[in-house]
Amino acid sequence: MDCEMLYLTRKVGESIIINDNIELTVVEVRGKTAKLGITFPPEATVLRKELHDRIKQENLAAALGDDDPLAVDPPAGSENSDPETSDPAKSDPETSDQE
């Protein structure tokens, strides 16, 4: 898939709309971290990129019959395939989605 990146500047409280049914709002900015709110239809899937990459890697390993999905090379462009840092249950409380 050949995609280009669109760069936007938004302030807290400002939003962007994607495909008429997904709204991404900047909720808070603290240092180098931005908290985003996403409104989307129930049929849409929303995952953090590192989790999405891990699922793709595990699916590829399963398709190849590999018993160890982490032994399969991660997809190109995936910087974080470490399960210790991509597990949402082990996330840093400062950056957790839980309030």
Using alpha carbons, select from 46, 50, 51, 56 the residue that is nearest to residue 79.
Answer: 50
Question: Stretch 51-55: mean pLDDT, rounded?
Answer: 95
Asked if residue 20 has pLDDT above 90, the reply is yes
Q: What is the pTM of this model?
A: 0.59
What count of other Cβ atoms lies within 10 Å of the Cβ of residue 53?
19
Among 69, 92, 95, which residue's Cα sits nearest to residue 82? Answer: 69
- Residue entry with tokens 């400062």: 94
What pLDDT is recorded for position 67? Answer: 67
